Amino acid sequence: MDEFSWLYGKPSCQGRIKVEPEDFIVKENLGFEFAGAGEHFMVKIRKTGENTKYVVNELAKACGVKSRDVSWAGLKDRYAVTEQWLSVHLPGKPDPDLAQFVAEHPGVEVLETSRHDKKLRPGDLAGNWFQLRLTELDQAQEVVARIEKVAEHGVPNYFGEQRFGRGGNNVVKARAWGNDEFRVRDKSKRSFYLSAARSWLFNMVLSSRIEQQKVHTLMAGDSLEVKGDDRATIVEQVTEQLQHDVARGMAAITAPMMGDNALPTTLEAEAFEMAVVEQEPLLLKLIRDNRMRHERRPLLLKPEQMAWQQDVNSVTVSFALPAGCFATAVVRELMVEREVENKEDNHANPDQ
């Protein structure tokens, strides 16, 4: 991630995050109500230091079903305290007693249950609420000053390092696959590598716009997301009104999630985007060979409900993010994580 530009310059403060699971709290917001009846038994869990897929497998055993009968809206970090809903397909069966399941798994609590007429699917959530405790800060006041900037102006909407695998391995593998060095038949690996390829190219375009001071400034041909309008707006001519809409948050400049179809951008914006992504010809080839469809993603991310509190050399900050956005993108603008020898990889699962 050090290859990508910071919106407010690289932080000078060093610190740590996730020293304890309680330093990273995530609460899922599905954004819809359950029907109260149906084939699917809904279970809201709070897990501490546990992997989502492990909990899914154990819950399946407790409910007497196969793991494939349990689904979720989003994976959550292992080294954290996280709350999320799981759905268990139990047609024609009563709600199971989960007392023994809870007793055998001290890192898991059952907070609530319900019934619904549809199973949860990946992506079936509005977003997540985070509470993060940043500790061992050598310049806590600088972190607070940066939080104030983030609250007002947002952060780059980068895909976090966990999207790219340990040491960026998913991107390395994606390049090799694009170079026809091997074939990938496993569906999950295909998904990881393709997702990493598209995310890396998006981050490159975003970083370049920050570097050239064009992240807040419209280019001719830009593709905008306008509030209240599901259709993208192409900027045929940059006007003061359009620039004002972007500044007020009524419209968002987007960058490409590359596909095999042509960019919707035109003129200066199209030339800019292509000049960046063509620096990774193997990733482009892989995306096109697999017939990925082009999508757009806003350049900037503005956390909601942002609050913070300083305590000597630590800062606790909370905020809400929409689905698909990364808490690590916020933390990256606040501090540099201090390297710790033999530190466990605490970012194996996406915090999105």
**The pair of three-digit structure tokens given for residue 260, joined into one six-digit string:** 């095999």
Give how far Cα 209 sits from Cα of 205, 206, 267, 331, Å: 6, 5, 16, 20
The CA distance from 204 to 5, in Å, is 9
Residues 107 and 176 in one domain: no
Q: How many CB atoms lie within 10 A of CB 106?
A: 10
Specify if 80 maps to a domain: yes
Confidence band (pLDDT; 50, 70, 90) for 334?
A: very high
The CA distance from 345 to 164, in Å, is 13
Residues 283 and 194 in one domain: yes
Q: What is the mean pLDDT of residues 252-267?
A: 96
Residues 162 and 111 in one domain: no
**Which pLDDT does position 351 carry in this prediction?**
41
Pairing type for strands 251-257 and 336-337 reads: unpaired
* CATH number of the domain within which 252 lies: 3.30.2340.10
The pLDDT of residue 340 is above 90:
no
The pLDDT of residue 343 is above 60:
no
Residues 84 and 182 in one domain: no
**Which pLDDT does position 341 carry in this prediction?**
61
Confidence band (pLDDT; 50, 70, 90) for 119?
A: very high
Specify if 166 maps to a domain: yes
Specify if 93 maps to a domain: yes
* pLDDT per position as a tens digit, 215-250: 999 999 999 999 988 889 999 999 999 999 999 999
Specify if 110 maps to a domain: yes
Residues 44 and 106 in one domain: yes
* pLDDT per position as a tens digit, 154-192: 999 999 998 998 899 999 999 999 999 999 999 989 999
* pLDDT per position as a tens digit, 34-84: 999 999 999 999 999 999 999 999 999 999 999 999 999 998 989 999 999
**Which pLDDT does position 350 carry in this prediction?**
41
**The pair of three-digit structure tokens given for residue 39, joined into one six-digit string:** 């084939």
**Which pLDDT does position 346 carry in this prediction?**
42
The CA distance from 25 to 260, in Å, is 38
Specify if 16 maps to a domain: no
Specify if 130 maps to a domain: no
Of 298, 315, 335, which closes a domain?
A: 298
Ordered DSSP codes for 222-281 = -EEEETT-SS-EE-SS--HHHHHHHHTTSEEEEEEE--SSPPS--HHHHHHHHHHHTT-H
Residues 179 and 288 in one domain: yes
Strand partners, 204: none
* CATH number of the domain within which 80 lies: 3.30.2350.20
The pLDDT of residue 347 is above 70:
no
Give how far Cα 303 sits from Cα of 101, 125, 217, 331, Å: 36, 16, 20, 11
Specify if 201 maps to a domain: yes
Per the structure, the count of domains in the chain is 2
Residues 198 and 268 in one domain: yes
Closest C-alpha to 130, from 316, 298, 302, 334? 316
Of 53, 86, 116, which closes a domain?
A: 116
**The pair of three-digit structure tokens given for residue 92, joined into one six-digit string:** 């024609």
In terms of residue numbers, what domain contains 106? 32-116
Specify if 264 maps to a domain: yes
Residues 178 and 239 in one domain: yes
Residues 178 and 88 in one domain: no
Q: Residue 209: what are its φ and ψ, rounded to 5°? A: -70, -35
Average pLDDT, the chain: 94
Residues 163 and 112 in one domain: no
Residues 228 and 291 in one domain: yes
Q: What percent of the chain has pLDDT over 70?
A: 97
Residues 109 and 185 in one domain: no
**The pair of three-digit structure tokens given for residue 338, joined into one six-digit string:** 């201090």
For Cα atoms 352, 281, 196, give the angle at the middle one, nearest 5 degrees: 15
Confidence band (pLDDT; 50, 70, 90) for 349?
A: very low
Ordered DSSP codes for 21-72 = GGGEEEEEE--S---S-SSEEEEEEEEES--HHHHHHHHHHHHTS-GGGEEE
The catalytically annotated residue of 23, 69, 77, 351 is 77
77 catalytic residue (yes or no)? yes
Q: What percent of the chain has pLDDT over 90?
A: 89
